[in-house]
Amino acid sequence: MAETFPYPAAVLDANAIIGLAKSESLALTPHLVAECAISPGAAGEVQDALSRTALRDALASWLRLRTPRPEFLDRLPAFPSPADREVLALSLQMRPCVLVTGDLWLSRRAAERSVPVLPAPALIQWFAVVGLIDRARPYLDRMIAQGFGIDPLLYGAILSTLGE
């Protein structure tokens, strides 16, 4: 039996958009989850030309720009990054969902609130698991070649898990 992705929705932050854009796999995301969203603050943090273009294309078709409702923002204290606060509030609002980010500070705040988190390379692993791509290695290698850092242990674990 083929595995299915365990979350119906995903909230992406700037880190996720940049990583997936650099791997040329961002457009696969809506084939994995029914609803994908980004907050205005997170969208504003995407600055490099490649990622901005990918973000613009995604917003024109499948990615929803969503401002978190005040009652979800009010649950959170001030964060060093207002965009991180928006992303986490949006994740709380869209439950059940997964927050896609490689930001460790944000990941810790999400974990404190029982919001599941995946870094962009792990989403690429899921693309392979569900059959959207044949192999993860070319996508991960493209991310690295484009300057997106992947922890070597995570890289090795993904490839080992997939038998690559």
Domain coordinates in residue numbering, the chain: 9-162
Q: Are 87 and 101 in contact (CB under 8 A)?
A: yes
User: pLDDT for 16-28, tens place per residue?
Assistant: 999 999 999 999 9
* Intervals of the chain under pLDDT 50: 1
Q: Which helix (H) or strand (E) holds 72?
A: helix 70-73
Picking from 106, 124, 149, the residue whose alpha carbon sits closest to that of residue 28 is 124
Q: Which residues pair with 38 in a beta bridge?
A: 65
pLDDT at position 1, please? 39
CATH superfamily, with its number, for domain 9-162: 5'-nuclease (3.40.50.1010)
Helix (H, G, I), strand (E, B) or coil at 139: helix
Picking from 46, 109, 55, the residue whose alpha carbon sits closest to that of residue 78 is 109
